[in-house]
Every structure is written in C-alpha cells, then in structure tokens.
Amino acid sequence: MAIPNDLLSAALIGLFGLTQIAYFLTFVLDLYFFTRPVDWVDTREAGTLPREEYPFIILFYPVLKELEATMRTTFLSLARLDYPTDRYRVVAIPNADDTETVASLERLAQDFPFLQILRVPPTTHSSWQVVWDAWTATDKAYWWHRGRRAFNRDLPPKKTRQLIYAFYNMADALIEYGDFLVNYIDADSCPPPDHFLAAAAGMRHYDVLQAQNIAGNLNTSLAASWHGFDHMAWDGSKYPHLSAHGRHPYWVLGKGLFFKASDLLALGGFHPWLTIEDPEVGMRFWTNGKRIGIIENPLIEEVPVTFAEGITQRKRWVAGFFQSLGSPLRDMGMPRAARIKAWFNFLPCLSLSLNSLGLPLGVWAIIGSLNDQQILPGWMLQLSLLNLTLFLSSTSALYLRIWRRSKLVLPRKRDRAWYLLRINPVSLLIWWTLWLIPIVIGFRMYLRDEGLVWERTEKRDANHALVRDTERGVALEAPAAAQAVPSTIADFGRVA
C-alpha cells in the first residue's frame, strides 16, 4: 500500500525537526563545557622552589614492538628535560617476551644513560604477588573483589598490565624518595623541556596534572590532518574545561599525566579489564576528591597517517568510553548526578556525525525559504538559521585557536595555512561522517567485551624532524649523575 504524500511529508518534516533539535543540543553542550573554568598550571612557580624541594618523578614508558627510531626520537626529547637528574627516573616497561623491543631498548640505553628497563613477566611469575596483595588490601580495586572477573590473575596483555606491574613493583623500592610522582607517556610522546618543572609547580595546588597533546605530523596526509584535528578540537580546546574547579568528573588522556604514587596506591591502581584505562582512572580520582590541573605546554605526538589506522585507534577509544561509563561508575561510588555529567564527556564524540546531517539540512532549508519554497514551519527555519550561525561562529573560533596552536609544530605560516585548507568545513563534514565507523565498531566491541588485548597503533617516527636537530652530542652531554643509573633493572620487581 502506498504511503500518502501528506503523511510522508509530515514524517520527513518531523525527522528534519528532530535532527535540528538534536543538532542544537550539541551546541548547548559545547556552551556548557566552554563556560566551565580552567585550572591552569603556572609553570613559572617552579622557579620559586628550592631544587631540593622538587618532587621525585618516575616516568614509565610502556612499549610494544616499537620502531627503534621512534623510541630514539622520544629519548632525544627526554634528554632535554630541565630537571635535576637525581630527582627522576625514566623506566621503559616492555613485555619480557617482546625480545625485539627489549634489544632495541638495550641498544638505546648505551646512548641514553638515564634509561632503565624493567621487563614485565607473565602474570604467573611470583613478582606479581605484590599486585595481588595490594588489590586484596583495598576495596577501591573493585574489579578484584566483585564481578565475574573477581580474583582473576590472567590480566589481558596490554599497556595497562605493564603499568600495573611496574607501578606496584617499584613503589616499595622508591619509598626512600617519599611520596614520589608517577608520569607515563606513549612510545611516540615527546615532552617539552619544562614538562617536569610543570609538575613541580602544579602539585603545589592540584592532586592530578594533565599535559595537553598536539600532533606533530599534521600535514603528512589527509588522514593525519583529520586525526590531528580531533586533538585540536578536544585536547587543545574543550578538554581543559573538565578541570572546572573540581566540579565536573574528568578523564585523563593516557599520557603526560602526573599523580602521587600514594594516591593511586590507595585507589587500587589501574583497572585492567577495560580497553583503555584513561577515562576510568581519571573519574576514580575525581570521585575520591582529587582535583586536576591542566599543563598548557603540550606533548608532541604522532597521529595515524592512514584512515584504517585511525579507525583501529578510535574504535578502541569508543569501546573504552562505553566500558568506563557503565558499571565502573557505580562500583567506584560516583553519585547519580555526577554519572550524568560523566556522560557529557562522551557525547561530543557520539554526536560528531550530527554535524554532517544537521548542517546540510539546515542550509537546504534556508536556501529553500529564500527561493519561496516554504515547506517547513517557521520555527524550524529559525532553528536552522540559529544552528548555522552557531556552527559558523564556533568553527571560526576553533580555526583561530588552531592557527595559533599549530604554530608549535608548524612555525611557517604557509604550512599552517595549508593545514587549515586541508581541514576546511567540507573536508570536516566528510571526516565527521566517517566517524560513524569507529563508533559502530567500538560499540560492537563493547557489547562483545572485546578490545582487551593491546592492538597497537603503528608509530612511524613521524616527528623526528622536530626533535633530531639536537641529536648530535646528546649521549656525550648526559649528566654524570644520570650515567650512574643502571640500564636494566635486575630481576623482576627489584631495582638494581
């Protein structure tokens, strides 16, 4: 039976109206975020501290089958850290059976004497007992005490497992340094020289610190430009507002964060049964009263240069977001109202594709009205015009922030102009449509409880040109105190 034209028209008009209302609500959510205050870290405060009062910092470096060139670039940036060499350690934590990466790290340790290597054994090894004992002693490690994986020692082989092992096995060994700070980065992360100084300053006011991130290979390919835009729009724009003077549940970004070892010990360490650990551990910090400060000077990283690699990365993000926003929020004791706010952090990601639907429909409606083809109610046209105005104003403001921020990695104006051209509004509409793919795949992974094994995003040493101009002489200029540090931590779980 054919559907009457008037009924079909009414259905299409209703669908159009719902789309425009949903699109308008995305701007309302943006308004909420951008009206939250930002708790910035003033790195200059480190200059007022006596050097003996600088906190001791241990930087963990979890890696899996990484290119030696990528790791070298990261170590070159670490060699430029402006911080007393006797107040920090850099500890690479590869899996013990990842012999190729271990061999690369041992070669690199000859050029970078500050590097230590702690190989992570299978969970059947006796050195894991310190983890089981610590989790048994605190109910905050709720995954260990409750649920279908309670007391399950067969932790999935991924970055989180490496961090858990290294954290607990080195916590006791470093007790002589007092309440030291923990920091960790990805294989391709290149911190700025004042990275640790920012921690020394920020920890005077906050419990957790998070450095922003920026991609260094923005113009490598169109896919890289799109992937880098995600960081510009989130890490470099919206994310800092999650600090909000402690009034909004925050996530951490999975690299470039600092926290007190004692705080994480009290909260049970990292949750091993999630695809990514970042959102859950941040929200657990917040639920237990820990405030976050934002470090403006970013880590430089590389983003995937192909669309397929970007899907691999983003589907894991989406799966981890869904996982973290379910039962973990109740298990960690987050109140109902706060759980709703926690979902706000994920909605901008879920709603990305609404741009590709709401904007063209709004433009179509406005053009139709200008041509005297008035088929929509007046309020819908007004809402479409409002949405178009909000899109243009918010996108213009974002482009201005990107122009200024991209100067960190694209000092030449023509390179920045080329980047803005690549992420023009039409290009972004295509990218936002393609975002549906990782959202669908990630949701399916969540439903199937997948994503627990580390499916790494390939790093290609894309940022070597930004760092390697200082490579000559780095090893020769390593401070004497750093050269006294052993390159390998002897025996599982013991510091040599």
pLDDT tens per residue across span 280-323: 999 999 999 999 999 999 999 999 999 999 999 999 999 999 99
Average pLDDT over the chain reads 88
Domain extent listing, the chain = 7-35+353-434, 43-349+453-483
Residue 368 binned pLDDT confidence (cut-offs 50, 70, 90): low
Closest-CA residue to 343 (of 327, 314, 321): 321
Q: What does R_g of the chain's alpha carbons equal in angstroms?
A: 24
Two structure tokens written together for 58? 């241990």
Per the structure block, which two tokens stand in for 488? 């390998």
Which string of DSSP letters, residue by residue, matches 302-324? ---SSHHHHHHHHHHHHHHHHHH
Mean pLDDT of 434-459: 90
Fold assignment, 43-349+453-483: Spore Coat Polysaccharide Biosynthesis Protein SpsA; Chain A (3.90.550)
- The residue among 208 and 451 whose pLDDT is bigger is 208
pLDDT at 5: 54
Give all strands of the β-sheet with 257-260 in edge-to-edge order.
115-117, 88-93, 57-62, 181-184, 257-260, 208-215, 292-301
What's the pTM? Answer: 0.91
Band the pLDDT of 436: cuts 50, 70, 90.
very high
pLDDT value of residue 319: 96
Q: Write out pLDDT tens, residues 375-412.
A: 667 787 888 889 889 989 999 999 999 999 999 999 99
Rounded distance between C-alpha atoms, residue 193 and residue 191, angstroms:
7
- Closest alpha carbon to 306 in 225, 224, 230: 224
pLDDT at 359: 67
Lowest-pLDDT range, 18-22, 94-98, 269-273, 405-409?
Answer: 18-22
CA distance linking residue 298 with residue 218, whole number of Å: 15
| Whether 338 contacts 287, CB under 8 Å | yes
